[in-house]
Structure 1
Amino acid sequence: MIEINRISKSFAGKQAVRELDLSIPDGKIFGFLGPNGAGKSTTIKMMTGILPIDDGSITLNGVDISKDPMKAKRLFGYVPDRSDIFLRLKGIEYLNFIADIFDVPEDLRRRRIDELTKSFGIYNALNDHIQTYSHGMKQKIVVTGVLLHDPDVWILDEPLTGLDPKSAYTLKELMRDHAARGKIVFFSTHVLEVVEQLCDEVAIIHNGHVQFQGNMTEMRQQFKEDDNLERLFLELTENE
């Protein structure tokens, strides 16, 4: 379970996230939506320990990210919104580096690297340097690295950006399987159709506040029964 308790974050006197509360149970694909500048990436960076929390707390499976960051970081895999990292490494070097960090045994890592890179269509590029990869290939190698140690919690910031349709389908199936095994997939996206297809629950954030948290049925009941997600999203995030 992910528990986000009244977290706040300010930059140069401007509040990006204000007393935000979220509770995400196990076994869910959880969509995190909001317009640009709503506070999505800031929230995710606090969840992963990249940014310190000004006020409030975040726990992942009972571990406080601020009080015990090393233990908490072993529980999740994080795909950032930018995949331009470790560009001078070869693909296989990067994956082995990640596997070493998380103590993935040799036989298991070889099997998972083969399976994942073949599924994403980058197996034949593993001996090439990441700086030669296309944007989509960089996204695939980062996603592969995240999935290598099979973390309980996936935190994905716009994970489908740059993926071709086959790879996007593969990742969505992996997300469904992960949640079916009682784990958590937390992801932000601008693709509303993906949310309707995939998500068990959704939260919509605007101006650093959660405007809604629940499933699609609850959202439609709260607003207009026949509205689609796009109309509801626009209604919830209109200028205050």
Structure 2
Amino acid sequence: MIELVNVTKSYNGATKAVDQLTLTVPKGEIFGFLGPNGAGKTTTIKMVTGVIRPDQGEITINGKNIGTTPLEAKQQFGYVPDSPDQFLRLKGLEYVNFMADMYQVPKEVRGQRIMELARRFDMTSALGDSIQSYSHGMRQKIMIMGVLVHNPEVWILDEPLTGLDPKSSFTLKEMMREHADSGRTVFFSTHVLEVAEKLCDRVAIINKGKILFCGTFKEMQQHFQSDVSLESLFLELTKHE
């Protein structure tokens, strides 16, 4: 579970990137976080993951406060950032093992877990190559593998499907569904509204740092008394903001 209560973040003491945001993402749910560029999505995710601090408000992950008990909170989640261009000098297997070391994954279970992830993402033959030699999609896959190797309760994914080929995209969406159905939490941002419409149990739409809507797609249709697509409702909701 992820909980944000009255979270605010300003830049330069003036522009509020996130403004009094309150949000609850329960267990057993795929939660989509949607908004136009500059809406506050990535700032929110960086605060949830402890990369930056909010000016005010409380953020907890499975009851652990990211501000006061950051190590305990960070043990609860795996975070895929919006850019996979990291640790380029390492080989794929070295990176995933490094992440396993960081989260103290026992040697007797990590090997099987790494090979299962590599199999699902078609990365088995590439594990011995340097990340620098990977395509963008392969880098994205190795970052996802590194995040999932400690089997975190909460997945926090910032545009995770960008650059993935159709098969890998399908695999990740399948794994997200499995994770939520097992009673755990998936929180992800995406620009691909068709994916959000088909995959998410609930969505929140943020613009200019404020939540404009939070609920199921069906609730959104009922609210606007319309049976059009999520894309159409999203454009209608954000055009005047």
How much has 1:196 moved relative to structure 2?
1.1
Alpha-carbon distance in 1 for matches of 2:71, 2:144: 21
Alpha-carbon distance in 2 for matches of 1:7, 1:236: 22
Is 1:120–2:121 an aligned residue pair? yes
Alpha-carbon distance in 2 for matches of 1:118, 1:227: 39
Look up the match of 1:9.
9
TM-score (norm 2): 0.98
How much has 1:197 moved relative to structure 2?
1.1
Alpha-carbon distance in 1 for matches of 2:123, 2:240: 43
Q: Specify the code of the residue in structure 2 equivalent to 1:218.
A: E
How much has 1:107 moved relative to structure 2?
2.5
Q: Specify the code of the residue in structure 2 equivalent to 1:31.
A: G
Look up the match of 1:70.
71
Q: Specify the code of the residue in structure 1 equivalent to 2:177.
A: R
Q: Specify the code of the residue in structure 2 equivalent to 1:237.
A: T
Two-structure CA RMSD over aligned residues (Å): 0.8
Look up the match of 1:87.
88
Deviations 1:147-179 (A, max 9, x none): 111100000000000000000010001000000
Question: What secondary structure does 2:3 align onto?
Answer: strand
Is 1:25–2:26 an aligned residue pair? yes
Q: Specify the code of the residue in structure 2 equivalent to 1:17.
A: V
- Give the ranges of 4+ consecutive aligned residues of structure 1 lying more than 4 Å apart after TM superposition: none
Question: What secondary structure does 2:96 align onto?
Answer: helix
Look up the match of 1:215.
216
Question: What secondary structure does 1:143 align onto?
Answer: helix
Alpha-carbon distance in 1 for matches of 2:55, 2:84: 27
Matched residues, number: 240
The unaligned stretches of length 5 or more in structure 1 are: none
Alpha-carbon distance in 2 for matches of 1:92, 1:175: 23
The more displaced of 12-21 and 40-49 is 12-21
The unaligned stretches of length 5 or more in structure 2 are: none
Identity %: 60
Question: What secondary structure does 1:7 align onto?
Answer: strand
Question: What secondary structure does 2:24 align onto?
Answer: strand
Question: What secondary structure does 2:89 align onto?
Answer: coil
Q: Specify the code of the residue in structure 2 equivalent to 1:161.
A: T
Alpha-carbon distance in 2 for matches of 1:161, 1:224: 32
Alpha-carbon distance in 2 for matches of 1:157, 1:67: 24
Look up the match of 1:149.
150
How much has 1:224 moved relative to structure 2?
2.8
Deviations 1:13-32 (A, max 9, x none): 21101001101111000000
Look up the match of 1:189.
190
How much has 1:225 moved relative to structure 2?
2.8
